[in-house]
Structure formats: structure tokens, C-alpha cells
Structure 1
């Protein structure tokens, strides 16, 4: 009996080997269901035959494996895609094919069942893309839309979701200026369109709610230039996808708000498995540190240079200007970079979400907490708490639908108020006095300037809370005709306080110092109502979808800025009623109203030819009564000229081809509110008024005309996808402050200037599946952008103050500098050319134009997976120039440390040196300053940065079933791990005095229960 059982077992294995591993053509001549009949002889249960056809988007599929789940019984489809199998009525069939998603379908007593398979690769063409007011399949889109998904976003231990876009999108520049948490990154979509810095912000939309993308105002020395990111309180772990709309076809439906591109952020929805409830847990913890340090002089080198400089000038060292040579310990060495920003910052992030679905109502409720330290000394940290809810409901007849989402976040950020840490670290002499005395107090003895850690007594606290709520209601009136209304509400409150303690200053001055604060409060409130009517219809091969709607939006903004002094003690600081003196430095309250009528008509013929017409009429309260309305439109088209399975065509490797193009206009009203009105303020006396703003009711909208052409190709059954885009955007009627002579009493007046700015360029994107087997896969994505920004026209620019800032025919981001002329062989000092030979060096001699923008940029990503082990990594690369590192230091020989380059200075005539001679003289300082503002002042700052690495392991299902867990993964992730660059400063993007993005390593776990 035992031998008989072993014989049957061996027979099963042989049959499985034949049916699983022998290619279908070898047994295609066998009768239909040959393997299944053999298997059926081994079964004793009563069975019947089921049949069907398996297809994909291109037709019948041969060789698809059809298996009865939980058994070894199965078959393969024949060349016509047909299968025949003996089954029981309660069986479940599993359909699988290499490169396609497996499908599990219950038989439920059926005798026939046709199945359509979805390719793992071509799902890229089938995925639904969020285009704002509508969705569209990737292969059918007529506009330029880039997308990152939750999988890519959650890989990064970031605060602002915009940081997730770095290196991942063609045509999208995201620059994280300094490595300080919470500061707003700079983002540009296809270049700079406006002459005004505040006129280039894209439109942010979160779940249908438009947000003010302008960074929050802040008075700190580190935050005043960049501001605070208004998206900080949004939990990036709750984001489903981020879409970026770039061309006219994609952005015109947003009218004036989409002039600089649109960023759509969609949060995660409820569970998609009916009758189940899911609990998702995520926890990671890690550390961060500064990823680079500058090579500076040590004590011996620095003191030798100082002595040589004083000797060259014919002086002797004195306490006043050379304390490091006369007063300080000649053998002390302090690595100030390590001391002031060489710390290790800890990080912890916890996320939890519960979701469920009963077939008609789904929900997702979640929350998160994040705590992050600082690399700087002192108690500087960032904390954020968020909560979110998403509710989706549909009626039993599917005619009524409700989508509700709310996201609430609170964050607290304490940073030091001053760039002293960075400046001190790079310039403080290495033998400077110790920071602390023996009793632990700050040491002020013999310091030429303030003690570096004095800024610890000048902390800046930033707090914000943000609520975003959206409700979308829709009702199907008749089949194909839907009525929808989108309701949105947002409220952001931010407080910023800087405390000035006495300990910030030398104790000798304490009797003259009052305790004081600088405080500001920003409040933003907005609501939006958008009724819409949507219609879809098909007539044979002709399909149509139309949309018409209106927008009513109201924004209210206030900003209060006050200073206070004279507090009795520290505990009262911030309570204005306890101050002796309070000064209101600014109190702005504005209201902005916006209305629009928009429409879209989309046509397609046979799924090959697509036409998209968009129009919008906008009205803005920022213009005078006769200039408030303007019209914007766009036309986009696409032609899918090839969509066949390559093996069936004459060109076997070519599987997809599409041409796409668009042209249209968008506008911009990104100017201050009430700029067209006369404005007055009361004088300090009684009954007086004085003007604060000039009246100009005639300026109107900026207009941005966008043109694009694109080619998309797929090869080897879409295992290789290529997209090539060419774009040209022209922004005219520039809204700027027109400069006025100061004798008028005003520096400028709001007006339209006859300037035309052009952004053009090429974008290349590829996605490839390099290897794809049962257990191993390797995918690669590459994007690269070649931008070209240019001031195309500016009538009479020579008669304006912009003549020293811009040049027609050149980019907006330029520097006009002197022509470098080497080192003077007689004086040993840097020399620049006096162009007009008038003996003076001024703007007329600055004739060399240097492009400060990016020459090209992009990203290279890879995803390798072996069974449950997954490795992802992304490289970001940028080609650019930045200020030469040596010119961020004091001139060679002056007080203050410098780079090791100062060891090779000019000594005598004939020296082939790149650093001028050592000297403290005013002539040396002037020469050094002029060289910094010359063509020699820039150096190559191109870099390749390993932006993100993620190694994760998904535990096998067999293991998880034993512990009753649906999914579990453990991972290690790294951010900004390596940077390859010839640049000698701290950061090739930020420059010598900017802390680079922090190197972060985290370990975490994800659970699904």
C-alpha cells in the first residue's frame, strides 16, 4: 500500500512538471484539457467541465496557466486563448502569466468564464491620472502630467511633501535651500515665468481645496528669506499621489491660478475589500547628520598665514587686531564645524490608520506623530501631530455619491535665530577661546566678537495648525449625466516668536539690555464652492465627455507683526500686557475674491484620436473694476498611432506609439491685494493722513502662452517606455512694481511692463523593465530636462532700474560681473578689467553675464526585487555653477579662518597661483571683493546625489498567516546618502555658508492587521 501511494505521488510530480514547465507548443496537439483530464483521474469528487477564453488588451492569450486554487490541478490556454478544465462548483481558478497580474476568480457553479488579463508593464498606460476636475487614463491623456505615488513618497523621511518630487519629475525643480526642518523649499515648474519672485509659485490643491502656496512670513534671520512651508502640517504618509500639471492643456482649466503649474495632492481613501476592516501601523526611527564639511586650516596653518600677512603689511601683531597671535593659546585647536553643527539629530515617526468598507460606505481614519531633533547645539527640535479622516459613500443604485475628507495638523518648530553657527564654524579661528567657563556659563573673555553659542539665548519658536476639509457630492440625473458640487474649507494659523534674553549679550552690557520679543501671527482662511455638470456619452466609435462648472472662492489673510520690550522676567515674555513698550510694526488684513466659469469638452474616436478643448473665464478682486475679468483657453490633442502586441506586427519590438500636442493660455494675478487703490495712513498727530500707495487702476492680467509637442513610444510589449517632450512658454504683460524716482515719495507703482519671458526646453523620460522572472525583477526610470530660460523682449529696459538686473536675450537668473584678469604680477592681488578705462569700477564695468540657473537636471531610479526582498534607490543630478568657495571666507590673511586653498597663495612675481597674496590691507580686501564679483567668482557646482535608498523585506504569507497578520515589512532607508561634486563648499546647491540637506538613516516596520 505504501509503495502504491509513493507511485501516485511520483506520477503527480511528473504531470506537474510537464504542465508547468514544458512550453505550450509541445503539447498543443493534445486534446483540449489534456492535463486537466489526467489530473481529474486522481480526484474522486464529482466534477464538470468549465471553459472560457483569456484575453488582454490585444486579443486572445496563449499559454496562460489556469490552476484550481489549493490544488495541483491546472491547464494552459491554447493558441486561441481557450481553456477547458474539470472543476467543482466551489473551486477558485487562478490565472497567471509571466508579466501579467494574477487573477483569482470563484467559479460559483458557472460552466463558462471569460477572463481579461492586465499586464504588469502596460498598467502604466491604463492607470488613472488625476487631472484635477476629471481623471484620465495615462495612455489617453492629452496634457503633460507627471505623477508620484504613495510607494515613492513613503520611502522618504521628509516633512514637506514637495521634497518627494526631487529628482523624480522632468520639468520640475525642487530645491531644499538649507538643512533646517520646516523651511519652505523652492519649486519651479518649467522655469521662472515672472520678474517677481512672488509671482512664480505654483497652485497647490489638496483633495480639491486650493491653498495659498506663498510661504508663511517669518522674521528670523534663517527664515526671513525662504519662509515657512504651508504644507508642513500635511502628513505625507497619508498621501495617495501627487500629480503635477505642466502644459496648457492640463492647466488651462484652472485659468489664472495655473499659470505656474498645478500640484495636485490626493490623500488616501477607504479600504477596498468589502466587509473587512484593516489596521495599518507604521513606525520608523533614525538619525540625521550634516553630510559634508569644508576643509579648513588647522591651528598651525592658520597662525602661519596670519603671521605672514602681518609681515607682508609691515606691522607687528597687536591684541586689537590679532588676538589669536597674542592673547589666545597657540596650541589650542577646536573643530568648530563639529562643535556647532556636527551633532546627531534623532527622529521618530509613528503612523496609524483604520479603514473599512461595507460595500456602500468606506472610511479611513488615521493619525501620526513626528519628532525630530537638530544637528545644532541647544534644545532645537521639530514636532508634528496630524489626524485625518476620509469617508466615501454611495447609494445602492449608485446614483448618489459622497466623498468627505479632513486633514488636521499641528506642528511646533524651535530653531536658533541667527546664521552665527554656520558663519562661526567656517570663520572662527581654530585656537579661539573655549565656549564655556569651568562653572558651565558662557565664556566671554577675549572674544573679539560674540560667543558662538550666544544665539542659544535668542530662540525662535514657530507654531502652526492647519485644517483642510473637503466634501464632494454627486448625483446621476440620467445615465451619463452627473451633477456634482465640490465644497472646500481651509484654515491655517501660525505664530512666530523670537525671545531676546540678556544672556544673548556680554554680561558687561546686561544693565543696558531689556528683555524683549519679536512676534508675528499669520491667519489664512479660505472657502470654495464649485458646482459642476458632467456628461459622458458614446455613439459607436465616438466618445464624448463634457464638463461645465463655476468657482466661487474667498480668501482672507491677516498678518500682525509686533515687538515688545521691558519684561520683568523671562516667564512673562510673550505676554504683551506685561511689556513696558509694544510697537506694532505691521498689521495687514486683506480679502481676495475669485470667481470663474469653466468648461471642458473631450472627444475620442475609436480609442485612437483624442481632442480636448478647455475654456475658462476668470474674475479677480486684485484688479481694477475694468480689468477684473479675462479669458483663458487651451486645445490639446493626441493620436495613438500604434497599440498592438509587437510579436504580431512587422516591427516585433515596437508595441506603442503616440503623438501629443497642446497650445493655450493661462494667466496670473499673483500680486498683492488692493494694489490698484490709493492707500493712506493716519499721521502721528491728530487729523492727518499721508499716502502709502499710488493709484493705478489700469494694470491687468499677466498672460502665459504655452505650446507643447510630445512623442511617446513603447517597445517589447511596453517593457521599454519613452516619452520626449518639447515645450515653449511665453509670459507677457509682466506685473511688477514699476520703479519710480524717490523724489516722488514712492519707490514703485504696480504696473504692467512690456517684458516677454520665455521658458523652453526638452524633457526626456524613460521607464524600462530590464529583467522580469518569477522571482526577480529590475526596473529603471530616468528623466532629464534641458531648460532654456530667456528674457525675450523688454522695451526700453535701459531706461529702467532693471537694466542692471536683466539683459534681453539672457536668462532671468544671471549675474553681471567684472571680467577677471588674473593676479597682478607686481602687487600679487586679484585684478579685474576696467572696461571703460575711467579708473573706476562700477556697474558699467560689469559686462560679463553668467547664468546662475541649471543647465540640465534629472534623476535616475532603480527598483530591484527578489521574492520578498526589495531594493530601491534614486540618484538626483544637476549641472550648474555656484559662488566659488574661497570667496565665502575673509580675504587671505585677514582675521578669520579659511579653506585650505589659502596655503597656496601668491608669493612673488612669476608664481602660478590662484589665490592672491596674504595681506590685511584695504587694497587686498577690495581686490578680493572685486574678484568675488567677477567671472572668477563662480565654480562648477554640478553634483550627483544618492537621494534615496530603501531596502525592505516583506515577510512570506505562510509566516504571516500563522501570526494572523495580513502584511508585514521591515526596512532600512537612507536620504541624501552620498554626494559627488567638484564643488568645495558645504553644499553645491546652497553654497559655502548653507547647511546641506541632512544625511538621514532610518529603520522601520509596517504592519497591516
Structure 2
């Protein structure tokens, strides 16, 4: 009986389990999300059954739904990714991560802002760099990581100090005003004010970078939108291009900890050969002999008072130090099928190559949470990034120029006891170049950027979503000026002083949106309708404190004897818009994209506040046509074109109103600005055509674009008669600026085997900038700056006439014959812009080793000075040839006439030289411990790496840095070599 009972029980259990494990042929609903390895959703993925017809495609967010049977298998296929086949069995949710094929068209999934697209299907021009390319670079600004990596994107460093704001130009300069050329920055959906913040420190020339609080290692990708089709959906905000920065997020997998740290040294990248003391003094003595003047302590203190044997390399003295660099990152990520998260923190520190102990420090934290319901209808995505920087820069002026002006036998800067040397310099009637050495400058910035995205899909293909964002940026700058920093005999040494600059920027945005995606016939239609509501406030206050009793109290304004207000401003900006996008593709061969936006800005007066902008983009993938079948070597071919307009409202707030300020006395006001309620938007019309080709199964890819942008209705200061009391009034003029050019992009998979791969990418930009029209230019304030038909980057120069036989001095042409040399004689035009620029990068992987390097190249001209033979102050070593009468040098002299002649010479074309350069921008070598060894040490990943930045530069330019080729005395970046380790747990 026991045996019979057990047998029956086993049979019953078997039947129950069998009926559960082998279900009937009934339908069950399957849903899920398809992403790439970067956890980005992939729209348009084909999902079919393995052995029967039917299927579906993913929507904009990579989501899908279909009915299937348990015995079915689903095939997930998308161009450029490896096809995956998954058995359904008893699953109701199947999330898939597709792996990119080795011969795919690069980074296929592209963030276009309000939607995602692919490299294959995009109709607009969008460039992208990924975390793999930029995360290990020892840089402060994310924009500098783009140098040499994108066609049409020109990034110039703001200087060699960390935190300085670089200048980015996307397809050239569109506006006559500097402030009218900033692109739109968007971080995780939140627009950021791209205007650099003010500073009273050494950053005053470039300003403080608003992106300096971002952690480079937390950036997932940077996309740059360039043409009308890509930027029109942003309306007026996208007139100068859009920079989209996406930070990293967690993955639906087990919890993972990643820790990375590197340390290194930054150094001065170059030296200029200058005259040594013997050469310098010989030339100086010859100058007095030629002029018949007796040197004395007033006109030749370098010959009479100073040590004739001292020889100081002032370049080494001022910026010959080593700046340590340290970066540490840690992040934790994980999740399950419905929820993923990522939290992290980082610390960055960089010292200085200048004298003194000054540091730049940055602390950053980030958190991300992504959740979707089991039925895939509801999605929540939250991201927040917080950064704190503390910039302790030198409180005196930039010493770069001083390093080249000082005589090599000038006195030492310090006494033996370590105090500043005032006496020797004072004997010559000079101030110690380190006047201000004991000043201390501290700029502390806090930046919080948060974004919340909510979406709900009530019906298949329909999605209702909203984007909520908030950012708050504060900057507190304090410069302490103790009296011991200054010459005891000067007024500056009478009392302690301080300078204060407080700034705040706050902005919120609300963007409701409706997306619709539906298959119609043999194509798919996609529609977006949305609105934008944004408010920004900008506050700034400058104070000046004097009369502190002791040095320790400097900066505490309550302890100051006098406090003066230098500046005080509060500005408010409101922006509202509605936008829409309608896209249709037919058989995945023909694509049409229509975009429109109506913008409203508080920066214009009544009746001028709203404007309409839009674009149309189209693409034809001709490689899908049957007549292309014989061309087996051509794996991909696409023609695309776009045309549209975007606006520009980057002007000051309240400019259309009369402006007044309070008088110094009580109860008074005085006008500071004239009203003009009639000016309105600048308009940038953009046209582009392009072709993309892929060969040998996309192992070789080529893209060529031709663009033309015309920015008209320019907002400029219209000149007024002096009788009005104002020099200009804000107005629109019929001035038109044109930017056109060629962009060429190339990528190839040169070699691919199990243990070796080699990839190459190349980009080239040939830009052309031109002022098409400007009514009454000669009567405007720009009469001595621009010329119609020429670039905005020109320099107006004198015509060089050689050396005068009688005087032996440089002479220039008096063009109009009025016996005066002035601006009217500057008729020679020189272009100071770049003729072409680009980059070449390679990635090689051999077993567990990886090598990446990027070359940046630029074709341009630049100026180089420091050839005034005989004048007070050091010159380049080439001047020594003047002693033998070699070279085109005027008579060695120190007279006033010779200095005027030299000044005119510098404004001719002679100081120009080839400033083209090829720079090894980045070099990175890494080694990844093989997986078979990881369990031994109990970790999931171990990588050691070394990175070099600005390692070598090849150039004919004889100045300090060809990237800053104006005069030859400035340099843009340091040479950095670092090494580190990355651990995964």
C-alpha cells in the first residue's frame, strides 16, 4: 500500500509539474525594453518570431509589447548590433541588451534631445563622443575633451588655469557680439546658462567655466547638434548649436562597485629661446652707441645698476614648477528588472606651476534612479549632480608677459630671508614683478543640477511625459590684499583691502510632451508635441573693503573701516515655447522630418516677444534600393539634406526699456540706457546637404557634409550722436554673417581578430566665415574692425615698406597721403581664423592591452613679436643676428622714434608666420587583468592605465603655443602625465 501510495503521489506531482512546465498553446503577453551596452534605449528594433510570421518594433524608449506562445522564440535584430534569439518559455517580461557589432556604423544610438535616433536613420547632423573616449582625460572642462574629436566644432582653451572657461564655436561665429555666439548647454535635459561667470582673479579674461563643476568620469556621452534639422526643435536657444551632456546611469543587473584613482604631474609645455645676459647687454650697449646717448641709471638701469653677470631664465622662474594632479572616483550601481540606480562621488585636485602653494579642488556627487512599471506603461527617471569647486589662484596679475619682458640680469625677486626684494627694484624706479605675491584669492562655486522625467503610456504607441528640471549655481569670490604684498613706498601698502564678488544663477524648467509612434502601411510615423516653460534669475554683487586693522581680519566686511559697493545687479529671464516634430520613414529607406517651434522671450518688447522657427530634414538610404545590389562592396549609402531657421535672443535683459541708476547723493537718478522697444530676434538660416557611405560591411565609413548658415537681423549697438548723451542704442541692423564649409568624417575597422583589433577615425573641417552685408559700416563703431566680404576674424594691417635708407627704421605705407599713420592706412587684410582643423585617432587592442591616441591638427597663421633690437627688456634669441647686420632688423636703437617704428611694424603682415600644428593631444595605455585571474583576488575587474595630455607638438611656429598664436607669449594647456588603477567589485 505504501508503495502504491508513493507511486500515485509521484505521478500526481509529475502531472502537475508537467502541466505547469509545458503550457498549452495559449497566448501570453510579452513586454520589455531593448537597450545597448550603455543602457540607452534603442528605438526601431525588429522583434520577430523565429519560425512563424509576425512581430513588432520598439518605440522611442526601446519598449515593446506582443503576444506569444510559450514554445516561441523571439529574434531581436537591429542594424549594427548582434542579433539575439530568446526562448519565451514562461516569461512575461524580456529585457534585452544588444551588443554592437564590430563592423557597425560607430555609436549608433544618438541622443537628439527630445528624442533618440540612430546613426543610420538621422536626417540631421549630430556628432557624438562617448565615455570611453573622454573619461580618463585629466581635464577640468568637458568641452576641452572635444578638441580634435568632432568635425565643425572648434574649442579653444580659456587659458592654462583650471576653471577657466574655454570658447566653443559650432560652425563658426554667427553674431557680431561675443555674447551672441554661445551654444546651448543641456545636462540631462536641464538647460544651463553657457555665459562664463565674472571673476576678479586671473580668470577675469576668460571667466569661470559654468561646466567646471561636472565630473568628467560621470559623463556617459556628449552630443553636439549642428544643422537646422537637429537644432530647430530648440528654437532660439539652438541658434549657435546645442551641446547635450548625458551622465551615467545604473543598469538592471547585480550591484556593482567601481573605484578609479589616478595621479600625475602637469608641467609647462614649451620654452621660447630668449637672449642670454651676454647677448642682451651687447645689443643694449650697441643701441646707445648708435643713438649717441650716454647710458645712466634712468635710461639704462640694466646697464648701470644691475649685475652684469646675473643670468635668470624668467620662464623657469615664473612657471617652471610641477603641478600635481589627483583624481579619485567611486560609484555604486545596480538594480533589477524594473528599477536601476547609480550613486557616486569624486575628488579632483590640481596644483599650480606658478610660484606659491595654490590648488584647485573639486568635489562632486551624483545620484540616478530609473524605474518602470512591470507593464512598461509608467517610467520615472531622476538624476541629480552636485559639484563644489574651490579655486585658490594667485592674487596678482598673470606673469606670462612679465616672463618675457624682464631683462635676464634683472634683480632677484626675493631677499635671502624670503621677503620680497623691493630695494633693488626701487633703485631703478620699478616695482617688484611679484607685487601682490601675498594676495590670496579664493573662488568657491556650488552647482546643483537636478532633473526628473515622468512618462506614461495609456495606449500602444502613445506616450505622455514631462521633464522637470532645476539648477542652482553660486560663486563666492574673495581676494585678500594685505599691505605687505605691495611696495612700502606705494599707496597700496597703506592699508589692508579685500575684493568680494558674489554671484547666483537659478533656473527651473517644465516641459510637458506627447509622443506618438505608429506603423502606417510600409512605414512608421512619429510625432512629438510639447511646450517649454523656463525662468532664470541672475544675481551679482561686487564689494570692496578697506581699512582692516589686522591681516587676519581681511575678508570680514564687518571689520573693514569702509565698504564700497562696486556693482549690484538682479536680472530675471522668462522663456516659453511650443514645439512639434513630425517624422515619417517609408520602408526604412525614405525619411522625412518636419520640426517647428514658436518661442517667446522676455528680452524683447511688446509685439516682438514671439517668433516662429522651423526646419525640414530628409534622407534617402539608397543602398537599400534593388539597383544597388550589384555593388556588393557598398554596404551603406545615404543622402540627406536639411533647411531651416533658428533664432537668437542672447542679449542683455531689459534692453528695450529706459535704464536708470541711483546717484551717489540721496534721492537722485541718472539714465544709463536708452529704450528701443522695436528690436527683435536675430535669425540664423541653415542649409546642409550630406552623404554617408559604408564599405565592406561597414568596416569603412565616410561622411561628407556641406553647410551654409546665414545669420541676419544682427543685434548690435547702433551709433548715436554724442548730443544724445549715449554712444549707442541696441537695435537690429541688416548685417548678415555667413558661415559655410565642408566637414569630412572617416572611420575604419582596419583589423579584427580575437586577440587584436585596430580602429581609426579621422575628421576634417574646412570653414569659411564672411560678413555678407552691413549697412553704413564705415559710420558704425565697427568701422575699424570688419570689412564686407571678409571674415569676422580679420586683422587690419599696415603695408610694410621695408627699412628707411635714411633713418634705418621700419617704415609703413601712408596709403591716403595725409602724412599721418593711422587706422585709415590699415588697408591690408589678414585672416586670423583657422583655415582648416581636425583630428586623427586610433584605438588598438592586443590581448588585454589597449592603446588609444589622438592627434589634433590645425592650419592657421599667427603673430610672433619680441624682436625689438635695442629696447629695454629681453627679446627672442633671433635678435642677436642684428649685431652682424643679418636679417630684416631696423637699426639697433632704444630711441622713441625706433619704438614707434617697431609698434607700426608689429601692425604689418611681417610678424605673421605659419602657426599650424600637429599635437599629440591624448595618449592612453591600459592593461586589463584576464578574467581567469579575477576570482583569485575576489574582484570582477582590474585595470591599470597611464594617460598623457598635450605630450608633443610639431609646429613651425616660434611662439610659446600655436593654439594661442597671438604674439607668442601665451599658452593654453599644460603637459600632463598620469597613471592610475580601476577596480570593479
Q: Same fold (TM over 0.5)?
A: yes
Give deviations 1:742-787, integer Å, cap 9, x for gaps: 3321121111011000000000000011111221111110000000
CA contact (8 A) 1:680 1:693 kept: yes
CA contact (8 A) 2:963 2:971 kept: no
Relative to structure 1, the CA distance from residue 306 to residue 577 in structure 2 (aligned partners, 3 Å threshold; closer, same or farther) is same
Relative to structure 1, the CA distance from residue 679 to residue 802 in structure 2 (aligned partners, 3 Å threshold; closer, same or farther) is same
The secondary structure found in structure 2 opposite 1:306 is: helix
- CA distance, structure 1, for counterparts of residue 137 and residue 762 of structure 2: 19
Alignment correspondent of 2:143 = 162
User: Quick one: which of 236, 241, 250 aligns to 2:221?
Assistant: 241
In the superposition, the TM-score normalised over structure 2's length comes to 0.89
User: Quick one: which of 130, 147, 151 aligns to 1:149?
Assistant: 130
Give deviations 1:928-978, integer Å, cap 9, x for gaps: 000101111322111111000000011100011222221211101000000
Alignment correspondent of 1:565 = 546
User: Quick one: which of 165, 189, 202 aligns to 1:208?
Assistant: 189
CA contact (8 A) 1:253 1:633 kept: yes
User: Quick one: which of 893, 901, 906 aligns to 2:870?
Assistant: 893
The secondary structure found in structure 2 opposite 1:926 is: helix
Relative to structure 1, the CA distance from residue 882 to residue 595 in structure 2 (aligned partners, 3 Å threshold; closer, same or farther) is same
Pairing 1:480–2:435 present: no
Give deviations 1:435-486, integer Å, cap 9, x for gaps: 2212221112221432233332233221100000000000001011010010
- CA distance, structure 1, for counterparts of residue 893 and residue 822 of structure 2: 24
User: Quick one: which of 932, 935, 939 aligns to 1:958?
Assistant: 932
Structure 2: gaps spanning 5 or more residues: 1-72
User: Quick one: which of 966, 978, 981 aligns to 1:1005?
Assistant: 981
Pairing 1:877–2:853 present: no
CA contact (8 A) 1:901 1:915 kept: no
- CA distance, structure 2, for counterparts of residue 681 and residue 872 of structure 1: 57
CA contact (8 A) 1:292 1:996 kept: no
Deviates more, 1:552-561 or 1:99-108: 99-108
Offset, 1:279: 0.2
Offset, 1:541: 1.2
Alignment correspondent of 1:298 = 276
CA contact (8 A) 2:123 2:619 kept: yes
CA contact (8 A) 2:252 2:339 kept: no
After superposition, where does 1:167-566 map in structure 2 within 5 Å? 167-220=148-201, 222-273=202-253, 276-447=254-425, 448=428, 449-509=430-490, 513-566=494-547
Deviates more, 1:395-404 or 1:502-511: 502-511
Deviates more, 1:308-317 or 1:192-201: 308-317
The secondary structure found in structure 1 opposite 2:399 is: helix
After superposition, where does 1:632-671 map in structure 2 within 5 Å? 632-643=613-624, 649-671=629-651
Offset, 1:310: 1.3
After superposition, where does 1:741-890 map in structure 2 within 5 Å? 741-886=721-866
Give deviations 1:890-910, integer Å, cap 9, x for gaps: x32121111001111276xxx
Provide the alpha-carbon RMSD of the alignment.
Answer: 2.4
Offset, 1:253: 0.3
- CA distance, structure 1, for counterparts of residue 418 and residue 159 of structure 2: 31
- CA distance, structure 2, for counterparts of residue 1001 and residue 958 of structure 1: 31
Give deviations 1:662-702, integer Å, cap 9, x for gaps: 00000000000000001122323343322111010000000
- CA distance, structure 2, for counterparts of residue 123 and residue 388 of structure 1: 32
Alignment correspondent of 2:66 = none
Structure 1: gaps spanning 5 or more residues: 1-91
Count of aligned pairs: 905
- CA distance, structure 2, for counterparts of residue 328 and residue 416 of structure 1: 28
Pairing 1:915–2:889 present: yes
User: Quick one: which of 956, 966, 973 aligns to 1:982?
Assistant: 956
Deviates more, 1:872-881 or 1:415-424: 415-424
Offset, 1:511: 8.7
- CA distance, structure 1, for counterparts of residue 479 and residue 90 of structure 2: 73
CA contact (8 A) 1:502 1:510 kept: no
Alignment correspondent of 1:738 = 718
The secondary structure found in structure 1 opposite 2:964 is: coil
The secondary structure found in structure 1 opposite 2:281 is: helix
CA contact (8 A) 1:271 1:278 kept: no
Relative to structure 1, the CA distance from residue 333 to residue 685 in structure 2 (aligned partners, 3 Å threshold; closer, same or farther) is closer
Give deviations 1:544-582, integer Å, cap 9, x for gaps: 110000000000001111212111112211122211111
Deviates more, 1:922-931 or 1:532-541: 532-541
CA contact (8 A) 1:590 1:673 kept: yes
- CA distance, structure 1, for counterparts of residue 236 and residue 90 of structure 2: 58
- CA distance, structure 1, for counterparts of residue 99 and residue 393 of structure 2: 51
Offset, 1:155: 2.9
- CA distance, structure 2, for counterparts of residue 960 and residue 439 of structure 1: 57
User: Quick one: which of 111, 117, 120 aligns to 1:139?
Assistant: 120
Relative to structure 1, the CA distance from residue 246 to residue 814 in structure 2 (aligned partners, 3 Å threshold; closer, same or farther) is same
Alignment correspondent of 2:947 = 973
Deviates more, 1:312-321 or 1:348-357: 312-321
